[in-house]
């Protein structure tokens, strides 16, 4: 018959339309699964050992200074009535705390992750957009305007609640307290400092003028442009402590970097000896059962001290090895019959 | 899923009666009848947007998202930015709208084409060519041959004698045979006199528009005369004028009010079982969503009470805890909305559409001879094809070709038809290469008739008297009509295809039936024309199972020729031919054993005296008022005795290609096949054997043929007890409680072997009564195959409904004719055989193709893959979305239940649309466990689908649990690994943005691994999709967190720098790796162990394929094994009443369309029913597409007869 002419409706013969596209068809065969598990297991065990050992070398020193207990040196400061209170905690190191040492403050039971808290800021304002200085966004409520209806800059609960305890660390050398230099530069993210946050353009050569007509956040003792009297470049929205605070924590218990100890005699670390930490106690946490602490730590390639990852890798790796053995037994017992 | 349930079509005042005056547009227009313009399109440019949007929002998923959007606008509740909902919603709406727009453009185009067809309208005494759309009610129009009927018309006059018009109704009801309509004499007298027609001022008063095709009532008032009008006078839109030069008609109903358009109502919307399951699951998911939100709202209240109330120094807020909990509830509804993802429905549609295209594209389901590819007419049922448990098949035209061929015969104890090898004496298989018998000596031979045994023609040429008697009897004893348009161009129209085959064969052998009149039959015997006087036809009926003719040959000798079922004729033979009977019986058994339909021929010479006496009785009986039938039967019985045996014929009811093999394959796939046929029991049984449905190896084939309900019940019970002696009488129903609906579900029972069931029409009627239907169903469903004979179209649907209702099984009905439409519509899936008879079955079907054998590919390959893909898709989709969502739930415990999202909003928006959409789409469009060849090699692979093993409530729960586990890992591993820790540069580790990025990376990598694990067929496209999407995640993540975008709009891109500050940390990557391994390896181990310990059929086949690494085996052609036992089959697919038609003079005066519907039977035969299918004899190479060529029908022959006699 005249088949060629007739086939006007004949579908195209392509690998795609005929569902014959060449394909890789892996199956879960014993030859892949069992060695696979073994290899993953061994690799995990290897990584786990490395992680665990690394984690062991990292030194961490943590001190709670909330002043919750009466015996605590900061007990007096923790009372709400105390103003400009200073307290001092001491600690001693048996051996050198290798540097660079990082100095953190920690808070617990503190819900920076609460949605309304997190959104309570004005990104445009913080980007230096002065139109938002006069009219802060509604998300800043109730820290949008003060009682006189003057706009607050930076507005919102998140800036308003900025951590304002300050610390001074002294090392006792020859019975005298030697101040340990704390480096407050570069503790915030580069992108935050250089891109995300912008100070408003100076007006008449002054940052303060740019803030004119605005009110400082209610909890703050000073305005944003006076945050660091020692360094004019560390003011406004580009204050490092402010930037660290504004990068809100994901979980109700968190640490934030306060200072680095990288200078002078302490560049190699904190030598053994006694140390005094003077705390200017301002930040109230007891009314919501929060705790404040200071943490000294050094880091490795994997970051700060964390035993979990190492242990988890070891456990998972071992389980994989065990599993591969189980599979091998099963394979020997239930081997596919060829004739099936 | 109409959500608003609004119907805004304007309520029109209901028309009670229609009044029309011919040629009076002014009068008619006062009624505001619809014009002839039709509009099937839904929108125009202006209404498209609002209407389409309105329709789309009636879908519950879209409405739900609109609701979410509204929630998001409320500031107190809004926990997510508006764009997380708007972007997916707009995308979905746009896609759907684009699809609707394309559909509508097609409809516009076809509307325009139809509306702009031209027709001649009589306006002011002149015929004017007008567009269809301008035709109005009351116009008189002229139609010519082969034109479509423009609107519903009252036939006024026609070119044909007696004002007849022949129409084809294929578009309307699928029947290809011609029907006849006749106008009133009053109007017919106007003929084509335009003056008379324009002056015609008849007034029609008729029924309002309705959708009944077979009924019409009205009156025509013309002056003082009043005539009643019925369906006989009406031409319906959608018909085609045939064999009529011209006709005039008065438009009664136009455009949307025509019966055709009134019938284009909503077709029932079929949903797949997965759809139904999904509805249940979606309800469950909503429940889960509500539960989670309630838990979180309560959590919020508790948190506010215990913690929040003290945390006011830094976050002063509203102190009403109940109100806060209330708001939290709605906030979480927004955040957790991804458990019911909008993209799910869209993806499902896309997958089904894709898999439908595969069906359309499949060259293995393309029939070259009729140039018909397979077609998925419904694109939403694909996965259901992978779950079929019951197939209901029509026989004629579906299993068989409806082509009969004269195959063998036995004459005077001599068997003809086999080809014997001269050397070995062995019978040879008949192949195409053999040389057929050369009939060139006979100019009237049918060129398409093939016969391979040369000895029969030799016997004819040697003038063997028995052979001549054999063919003479075949040439005389039948009810076939002949038409000879040109000399030598003979066309036969036979009511039964068997008869057609016999008469055609006879014609080729030199005994040509040329014409008949009511009193004569003219045949040409070896070139000599002889006219036999036809004295009587002793018609066929179901009890007699035979027919006879009494003829007087030109020499004046009276002979009775009889043909019929062997059993009945043998009883009436003269004892003298007992020897011959033995030999013939042997041949008959042989024929029957090969599945051929046999007939026995006998004759008897009559003497004049006896006959005239009998004729007298006959005449008395035929005009008797009482017991006419019985009296006639008695008379027939009296004369049909002491006959002499001539021989037997064997006719092959040709099966379609590959039917037996297909049935074998489907049986292996545990699909139960029920044949529902209008044929009689013997024929059906015979076909059952020849197509492998019933097999000799079966333990038993039960035959239920009882005459009372009691007997039927008993026979069914006995059969069941035989199959399963331990069967319990009542304990077979399992209660099914879905949504309060409790139909009785009949549990599957297992028989102790292979059984078959044949039930005749009579018994089936009883068995389908409500008191017995469960009994019938239980017995029938235990059998491997069931054959129901003499089934009416309604019963076909009833049987399907019965199984559908009481079995938790998916049904498929396959058929080709208009009589299968009801069952095709009733079944879950309807399949139409295209390219043969009318289009009706195809038009109402969900899938169509040209050959029954394609069914195995449709089910075992396409169906199975579609089901597999859909299930994999759903499992994976739920997994990825649940995992995504549950993480939010866990995070709630660490953010004061404040509806803080874990992830970045950009990620939430893009997760379903960009990061995970394509890989899962690739999975569900390309995945195959084993290729097509292996799927057909192991039909058992189909079984898991029937048991819904790949996706069920249980599988869904497993998915949910798996997600729960994964989400716990994805949340808590980063949590424990990173909290209170520092990065390698000493900066603090987990700020919110880093944590978000880490969890979303963990999530993306985990679902990516999970997909890779699920994907068993990695084509280039899959690689592209999977790797591309993973790459896209990182690319987009980095892009969205860049300086540039941040500068454009700071608040939207607040995550600036997170990616580069976070993903450079080794601890982050170690966490991601740990998470992914913890999520995926247990699944891998579980799957591997399962496949080892209790491998499924799937595992085994895949393993085998993997081992052999061979290409798929070529499909095997199984040879049919010749059966040893013999059964007697006889062919006489006859209906009663044709004898009368042939001899009756009445039809000459008033032609009765032999097979049109709605015609009252003539004569004494109340049992005569038109069969509804064109039973015209078709020789072997019959035209496959009847649309292209109009075959002459009996009607034309009636006319021919009429012309020759007057």
The answer to whether residue B475 is domain-embedded is: yes
| pLDDT > 70 fraction of chain B, expressed in percent and rounded | 87
Task: Tell which wins on pLDDT, B644 or B430.
Answer: B644
> Is residue B362 over pLDDT 90?
yes
Query: What ranges do the domains of chain A cover?
Result: 30-58+303-340, 59-298
pLDDT at residue B1030 in the model: 95
pLDDT at residue A186 in the model: 87
Say whether B192 is catalytic: no
The answer to whether residue B1191 is domain-embedded is: no
Distance from CA of B381 to the nearest CA of A (A): 19
Instruction: Categorize the per-residue pLDDT at A245 as very low, low, confident or very high, splitting at 50, 70 and 90.
Output: very high
- Of the three residues B117, B145, B162, the one that is the final residue of a domain is B117
Q: Is B993 on the interface with A (CB under 8 A)?
A: yes
Q: Is B566 annotated as a binding residue?
A: no
pLDDT at residue B683 in the model: 75
B895 and A111: CB-CB below 8 Å? yes
> Is residue B1200 over pLDDT 50?
no
Of B316, B364, B1070, nearest to A47 by CB-CB distance is: B1070
Query: Domain of B1049?
Result: 868-1106
Q: Max Cα separation, chain B? A: 129
> Is residue B1195 over pLDDT 90?
no
pLDDT at residue A162 in the model: 93
pLDDT in tens, A80-139: 888 888 999 999 999 999 888 999 999 999 999 998 898 899 988 998 888 888 888 888
Co-location of B80 and B147 in the same domain: no
What residues 183-202 of chain A have any CB closer than 8 A to a CB of chain B? 187-192, 195-196
pLDDT at residue B730 in the model: 54
Average confidence (pLDDT) over A278-286: 90
Q: Is A311 on the interface with B (CB under 8 A)?
A: no
Co-location of B446 and B570 in the same domain: yes
* Residue of B527, B561, B506, B348 whose CA lies nearest to B443: B527
In this structure, are residues B971 and B884 in contact, taking their beta carbons and an 8 Å threshold?
no
Q: How far is CA B32 from CA B35, B136, B261, in A?
A: 9, 10, 18
Co-location of B579 and B663 in the same domain: no
Average confidence (pLDDT) over B451-472: 89
Tokens read off for B30: 């006062």
Task: Lowest mean pLDDT of B47-56, B939-948, B1031-1040, name the range.
Answer: B47-56
In whole angstroms, give the CA distance from residue B237 to residue B223. Answer: 28
Task: Tell which wins on pLDDT, B596 or A236.
Answer: A236
pLDDT at residue B742 in the model: 52
Burial B577-602 (b: 16+ CB within 10 A, else e): beebbebbbebbbbbbbbbbbbbbbb
- Of the three residues B860, B895, B928, the one that is the final residue of a domain is B860
In whole angstroms, give the CA distance from residue B394 to residue B400. Answer: 9
pLDDT in tens, B130-140: 898 888 888 89
Q: Which residues of B touch A287 (CB under 8 A)?
A: 310, 313
Instruction: Categorize the per-residue pLDDT at B1169 as very low, low, confident or very high, splitting at 50, 70 and 90.
Output: very low
The answer to whether residue B1183 is domain-embedded is: no
Cα atoms found within 13 Å of the Cα of residue B354, Cβ hemisphere only: 20
Distance from CA of B446 to the nearest CA of A (A): 20
DSSP state of B853: T
> Is residue B1202 over pLDDT 50?
no
Co-location of B843 and B874 in the same domain: no
Q: Which residues of B touch A61 (CB under 8 A)?
A: none
Cα B882 from chain centroid (whole Å): 38
In this structure, are residues B1073 and A312 in contact, taking their beta carbons and an 8 Å threshold?
no
Q: Is B843 helix (H, G, I), strand (E, B) or coil?
A: helix
The DSSP line for B233-262 is GEE-TT-EEES-SEEEEEEEE-GGGSHHHH
DSSP state of B913: I
Co-location of B667 and B771 in the same domain: yes
Q: Which of B104, B152, B173, B394 is catalytic?
A: B394
A51 and B898: CB-CB below 8 Å? no
Backbone angles phi, psi at B287, to 5 degrees: -60, -45
What residues 919-938 of chain B have any CB closer than 8 A to a CB of chain A? 926, 928, 931-932
Task: Tell which wins on pLDDT, B10 or B25.
Answer: B25
pLDDT at residue B93 in the model: 87
Distance from CA of B862 to the nearest CA of A (A): 10
Q: Which residues pair with A300 in a beta bridge?
A: A303
> Is residue B1206 over pLDDT 80?
no
A113 and B992: CB-CB below 8 Å? yes
The answer to whether residue B443 is domain-embedded is: yes
Total domains in the fold of chain B: 5
pLDDT in tens, B296-312: 999 999 998 888 778 87
Co-location of B907 and B802 in the same domain: no
Strands A176-179 and B672-676, how do they pair?
Answer: unpaired
Of A18, A195, A326, nearest to B1056 by CB-CB distance is: A195
pLDDT at residue B60 in the model: 76
What residues 340-369 of chain B have any CB closer than 8 A to a CB of chain A? 357-358, 360-364, 366, 368-369
pLDDT in tens, A22-34: 989 888 888 899 9
Residue B14: which residues within 8 A CB-CB, separation 6 or more? B208
Cis peptide before A142 (omega within 30 of 0): yes
Distance from CA of A174 to the nearest CA of B (A): 31
Co-location of B523 and B456 in the same domain: yes
B1043 and A195: CB-CB below 8 Å? yes
pLDDT at residue B853 in the model: 92
> Is residue B1085 over pLDDT 70?
yes
Co-location of B1059 and B937 in the same domain: yes
pLDDT at residue A336 in the model: 55
Distance from CA of A175 to the nearest CA of B (A): 31
Co-location of B445 and B367 in the same domain: no
CATH number for B388: 3.40.50.1000
Helical ranges in B1094-1153 per DSSP H: 1097-1108, 1138-1143, 1146-1149
CATH number for B543: 3.40.1110.10
Q: Which residues of B touch A317 (CB under 8 A)?
A: none
Q: Which residues of A touch B980 (CB under 8 A)?
A: 106, 253-255, 304
Of A304, A330, A336, nearest to B981 by CB-CB distance is: A304
pLDDT in tens, B748-765: 778 888 899 999 888 888
What residues 150-169 of chain A have any CB closer than 8 A to a CB of chain B? 157, 160-161
Query: Nearest chain A Cα to B1106, which residue?
Result: A27
> Is residue A230 over pLDDT 60?
yes
Q: Is B395 annotated as a binding residue?
A: yes
Task: Tell me if the pTM is above 0.90.
Answer: no
Co-location of B92 and B182 in the same domain: no
Average confidence (pLDDT) over A173-190: 90
pLDDT at residue B379 in the model: 83
Q: Is B1001 on the interface with A (CB under 8 A)?
A: no
B307 and A111: CB-CB below 8 Å? yes
Beta strands in B931-1022 (DSSP E): 1018-1019
Co-location of B461 and B438 in the same domain: yes
The answer to whether residue B272 is domain-embedded is: no
> Is residue B646 over pLDDT 80?
yes
Task: Lowest mean pLDDT of B153-157, B174-178, B679-683, name the range.
Answer: B174-178
> Is residue B1178 over pLDDT 80?
no
Distance from CA of A328 to the nearest CA of B (A): 10
> Is residue B1188 over pLDDT 70?
no
Strands B164-168 and B597-606, how do they pair?
Answer: unpaired
The distance in angstroms from the start CA to the end CA of chain B is: 65
Instruction: Categorize the per-residue pLDDT at B663 as very low, low, confident or very high, splitting at 50, 70 and 90.
Output: very high
A303 and B989: CB-CB below 8 Å? yes
In whole angstroms, give the CA distance from residue B106 to residue B98. Answer: 13
Of A24, A28, A109, nearest to B1087 by CB-CB distance is: A28
Co-location of B491 and B374 in the same domain: no
Q: Is B154 helix (H, G, I), strand (E, B) or coil?
A: strand
Residue B43: which residues within 8 A CB-CB, separation 6 or more? B51, B52, B100, B101, B104
DSSP state of B159: S
Distance from CA of A159 to the nearest CA of B (A): 10
> Is residue A279 over pLDDT 90?
yes
Q: Which residues pair with B376 in a beta bridge?
A: B847
DSSP state of A231: -
How many pairs of residues across A and B have Cβ atoms under 8 Å apart?
287
pLDDT at residue A340 in the model: 45
What residues 41-60 of chain A have any CB closer than 8 A to a CB of chain B? 44, 47, 51
In whole angstroms, give the CA distance from residue B253 to residue B38. Answer: 12
pLDDT at residue B593 in the model: 72
B1067 and A302: CB-CB below 8 Å? yes
Instruction: Categorize the per-residue pLDDT at B1174 as very low, low, confident or very high, splitting at 50, 70 and 90.
Output: very low
> Is residue B1120 over pLDDT 60?
no
Q: Which residues pair with A152 in a beta bridge?
A: A215
* Residue of B689, B658, B675, B684 whose CA lies nearest to B1123: B689
Q: Is B896 on the interface with A (CB under 8 A)?
A: yes
Tokens read off for B840: 């009706």
pLDDT at residue B177 in the model: 58
pLDDT at residue A278 in the model: 93
Query: Nearest chain B Cα to A161, which residue?
Result: B314
Please, what is the average pLDDT of chain B?
Answer: 82
Of A11, A138, A142, nearest to B361 by CB-CB distance is: A11
> Is residue B1147 over pLDDT 80?
no
Task: Lowest mean pLDDT of B7-16, B51-60, B533-542, name the range.
Answer: B7-16
Q: Is B988 on the interface with A (CB under 8 A)?
A: yes
pLDDT in tens, B1026-1063: 999 999 999 999 999 988 888 888 888 889 989 988 99
pLDDT in tens, B1010-1027: 999 999 999 999 999 999
CATH number for B231: 2.70.150.10
The answer to whether residue B1045 is domain-embedded is: yes
Q: Is A112 on the interface with B (CB under 8 A)?
A: yes
pLDDT at residue A1 in the model: 39
- Of the three residues B829, B860, B891, the one that is the final residue of a domain is B860
Q: Is B1183 on the interface with A (CB under 8 A)?
A: no
């Amino acid at each position: 018959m005249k088949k060629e002419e007739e086939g006007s409706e004949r579908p195209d013969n392509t690998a795609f339309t005929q569902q014959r596209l060449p394909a890789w068809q892996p199956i879960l065969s014993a030859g892949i699964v069992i060695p696979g598990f073994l290899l993953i297991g061994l690799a995990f065990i290897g990584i786990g050992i490395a992680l665990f050992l690394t984690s062991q070398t990292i030194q961490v020193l943590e001190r709670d200074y909330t002043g919750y207990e009466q015996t605590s040196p900061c007990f007096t400061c923790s009372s709400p009535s105390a103003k400009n209170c200073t307290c001092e905690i001491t600690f001693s190191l048996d051996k050198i705390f290798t540097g660079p040492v990082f100095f953190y403050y920690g808070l617990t039971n503190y819900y920076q992750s609460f949605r309304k808290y997190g959104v309570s800021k004005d990104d445009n304002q913080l980007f230096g957009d002065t139109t938002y200085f006069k009219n802060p966004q509604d998300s800043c409520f109730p820290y949008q305007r003060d009682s006189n209806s003057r706009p607050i800059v930076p507005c919102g609960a998140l800036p308003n609640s900025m951590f304002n305890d300050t610390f001074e660390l002294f090392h006792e050398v020859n019975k005298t307290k030697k101040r340990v230099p704390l480096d407050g530069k570069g503790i915030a993210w580069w992108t935050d400092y250089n891109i995300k946050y912008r100070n408003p353009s100076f007006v008449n050569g002054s940052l303060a003028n740019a803030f004119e007509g605005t009110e400082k956040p209610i909890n703050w003792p000073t305005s944003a442009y006076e945050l660091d009297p020692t360094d004019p470049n560390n003011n406004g929205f580009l204050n490092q402590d402010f930037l660290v605070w504004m990068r809100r924590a994901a979980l109700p218990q968190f640490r934030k970097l306060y200072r680095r100890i990288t200078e002078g005699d302490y560049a190699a670390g904190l030598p053994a000896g006694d140390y005094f930490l003077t705390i200017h106690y301002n930040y109230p946490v007891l009314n919501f059962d929060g705790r404040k602490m200071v943490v000294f730590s050094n880091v490795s390639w994997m970051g700060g001290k964390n035993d979990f990852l190492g242990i988890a890798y070891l456990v998972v790796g071992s389980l994989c090895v065990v599993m591969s053995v189980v599979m091998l037994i099963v394979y020997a017992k239930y081997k596919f019959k060829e004739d099936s | 899923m109409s959500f608003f349930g609004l119907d805004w079509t304007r309520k029109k005042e209901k028309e009670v009666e229609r009044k029309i005056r011919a040629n009076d547009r002014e009068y008619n227009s006062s009624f505001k009848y619809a014009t002839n313009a039709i509009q099937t399109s839904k929108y125009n440019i202006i209404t498209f947007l609002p209407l389409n949007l309105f329709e789309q929002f009636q879908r519950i998923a879209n409405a739900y998202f609109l609701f979410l959007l509204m929630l998001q606008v409320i500031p107190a509740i809004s926990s997510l930015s508006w764009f997380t909902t708007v972007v997916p919603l707009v995308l979905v709406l746009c896609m759907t709208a684009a699809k609707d727009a394309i559909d509508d453009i097609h409809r516009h185009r076809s509307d325009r084409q139809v509306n702009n067809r031209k027709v001649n309208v009589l306006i002011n005494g002149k015929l004017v060519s007008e567009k269809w759309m301008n035709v109005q009610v009351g116009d008189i129009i002229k139609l010519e041959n082969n034109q479509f009927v423009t609107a519903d018309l009252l036939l006024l006059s026609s070119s044909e004698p007696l004002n007849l018009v022949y129409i084809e109704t294929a578009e309307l009801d699928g029947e290809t045979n011609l029907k006849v309509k006749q106008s009133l004499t009053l109007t017919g007298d106007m003929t084509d006199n335009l003056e008379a027609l324009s002056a015609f001022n008849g007034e029609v008063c008729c029924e309002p528009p309705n959708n009944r095709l077979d009924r019409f009532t009205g009156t025509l008032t013309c002056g003082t005369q009043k005539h009643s009008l019925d369906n006989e006078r009406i031409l319906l839109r959608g018909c085609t004028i045939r064999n009529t030069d011209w006709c005039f008609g008065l438009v009664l109903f136009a455009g949307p009010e025509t019966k055709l358009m009134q019938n284009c109502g909503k077709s029932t919307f079929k949903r797949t079982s997965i759809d139904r399951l999904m509805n249940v699951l979606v309800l469950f998911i909503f429940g889960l969503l509500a539960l989670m939100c309630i838990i979180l709202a309560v959590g919020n209240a508790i948190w506010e009470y215990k913690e929040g109330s003290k945390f006011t120094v830094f976050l002063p807020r509203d102190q009403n805890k109940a109100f806060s909990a209330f708001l939290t509830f709605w906030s979480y509804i927004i955040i957790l909305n991804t458990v019911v993802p909008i993209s799910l429905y869209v993806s499902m549609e896309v997958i089904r559409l894709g898999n439908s295209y595969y069906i359309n594209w499949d060259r293995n389901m393309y029939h070259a001879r009729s140039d018909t590819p397979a077609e998925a007419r419904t694109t939403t049922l694909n996965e259901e094809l992978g779950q079929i448990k019951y197939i209901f098949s029509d026989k004629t035209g579906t299993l068989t070709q409806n082509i009969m061929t004269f195959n063998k015969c036995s004459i005077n104890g001599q068997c003809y038809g086999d080809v014997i090898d001269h050397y070995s004496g062995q019978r040879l298989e008949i192949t195409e290469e053999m040389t057929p018998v050369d009939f060139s000596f006979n100019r009237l031979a049918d060129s398409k008739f093939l016969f391979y045994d040369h000895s029969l023609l030799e016997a004819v040429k040697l003038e063997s008297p028995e052979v001549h008697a054999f063919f003479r009897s075949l040439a005389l004893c039948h009810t076939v009509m002949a038409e000879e348009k040109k000399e030598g161009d003979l066309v036969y129209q036979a009511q039964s295809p068997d008869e057609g085959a016999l008469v055609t064969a006879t014609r080729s052998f030199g005994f040509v039936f040329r014409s008949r009149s009511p009193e004569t039959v003219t045949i040409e015997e070896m070139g000599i024309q002889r006219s036999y006087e036809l004295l009587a036809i002793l018609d066929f009926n179901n009890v007699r199972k035979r027919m006879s003719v009494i003829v007087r040959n030109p020499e004046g000798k009276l002979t009775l020729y009889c043909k019929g079922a062997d059993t009945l004729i043998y009883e009436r033979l003269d004892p003298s031919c007992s020897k011959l009977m033995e030999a013939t019986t042997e041949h008959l058994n042989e024929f029957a054993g090969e599945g051929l339909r046999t007939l026995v021929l006998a004759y008897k010479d009559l003497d004049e005296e006896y006959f005239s006496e009998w004729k007298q009785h006959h005449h008395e009986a035929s005009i008797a008022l009482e017991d006419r039938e019985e009296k006639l039967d008695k008379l027939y019985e009296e004369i049909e005795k002491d006959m002499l045996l001539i021989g037997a014929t064997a006719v092959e009811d040709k099966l379609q290609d590959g039917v037996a093999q297909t049935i074998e394959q489907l049986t292996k796939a545990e699909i139960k096949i029920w044949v529902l046929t209008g044929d009689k029991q013997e024929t059906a049984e015979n076909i059952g054997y020849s197509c492998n449905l019933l097999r000799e190896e079966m333990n038993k084939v039960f035959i239920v043929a009882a005459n009372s309900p009691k007997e039927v019940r008993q026979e069914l019970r006995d059969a069941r007890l035989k199959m399963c002696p331990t069967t319990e009488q009542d304990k077979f129903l399992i209660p099914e409680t879905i949504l309060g609906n409790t139909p009785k579900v009949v549990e599957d029972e297992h028989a102790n072997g292979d059984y078959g069931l044949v039930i005749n029409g009579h018994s089936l009627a009883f068995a389908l009564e409500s008191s017995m239907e469960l009994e019938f169903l239980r017995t029938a469903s235990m059998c491997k195959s069931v054959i129901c004979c003499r089934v009416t179209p309604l019963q076909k649907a009833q049987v399907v409904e019965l199984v559908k209702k009481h079995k938790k099984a998916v049904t498929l009905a396959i058929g080709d004719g208009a009589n299968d439409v009801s069952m095709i519509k009733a079944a879950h899936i309807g399949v139409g055989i295209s390219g043969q008879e009318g289009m009706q079955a195809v038009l109402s079907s969900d899938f169509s193709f040209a050959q029954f054998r394609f069914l195995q590919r449709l089910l075992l390959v396409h169906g199975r893959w579609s089901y597999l893909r859909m299930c994999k898709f759903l499992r994976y989709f739920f997994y990825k979305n649940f995992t995504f969502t549950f993480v939010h739930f866990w995070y709630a415990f660490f953010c004061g239940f404040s509806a803080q999202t874990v992830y970045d909003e950009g990620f939430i928006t893009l997760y379903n649309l960009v990061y995970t959409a394509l890989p899962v789409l690739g999975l569900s469009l390309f995945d195959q466990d084993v290729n097509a060849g292996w799927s057909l090699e192991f039909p058992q692979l189909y079984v898991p689908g029937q048991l819904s093993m790949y996706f069920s409530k249980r599988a869904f729960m497993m998915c949910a649990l798996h997600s729960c586990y994964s989400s716990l890992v994805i949340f808590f591993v980063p949590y424990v690994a990173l909290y209170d820790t520092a990065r390698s540069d000493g900066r603090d580790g987990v700020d919110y943005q880093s944590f978000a990025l880490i969890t979303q990376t963990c999530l993306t990598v985990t679902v990516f691994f999970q997909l890779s694990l699920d994907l068993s067929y990695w084509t280039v496209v899959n690689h592209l999709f999977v790797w591309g999407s993973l790459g896209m995640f990182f690319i987009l993540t980095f892009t969205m967190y860049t300086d540039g975008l941040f500068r454009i709009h700071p608040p939207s891109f607040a995550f600036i720098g997170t990616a580069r500050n976070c993903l450079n940390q080794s601890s982050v990557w170690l966490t991601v790796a740990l998470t992914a391994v913890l999520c995926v390896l247990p699944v891998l181990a579980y799957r591997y162990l399962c496949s080892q310990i209790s491998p499924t059929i799937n595992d085994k086949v895949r393993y085998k394929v993997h081992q052999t690494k061979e290409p798929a085996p070529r499909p095997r052609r199984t040879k049919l094994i010749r059966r040893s036992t013999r059964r007697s089959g006889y062919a006489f697919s006859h209906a009663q009443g044709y004898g009368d038609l042939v001899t009756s003079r009445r039809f000459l005066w008033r032609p009765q369309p032999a097979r049109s519907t709605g015609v009252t039977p003539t004569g004494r035969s109340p049992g005569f029913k038109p069969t509804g299918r064109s039973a015209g004899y078709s020789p072997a190479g019959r035209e496959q597409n009847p649309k292209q060529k109009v075959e002459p029908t009996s009607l034309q022959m009636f006319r021919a007869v009429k012309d020759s006699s007057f």
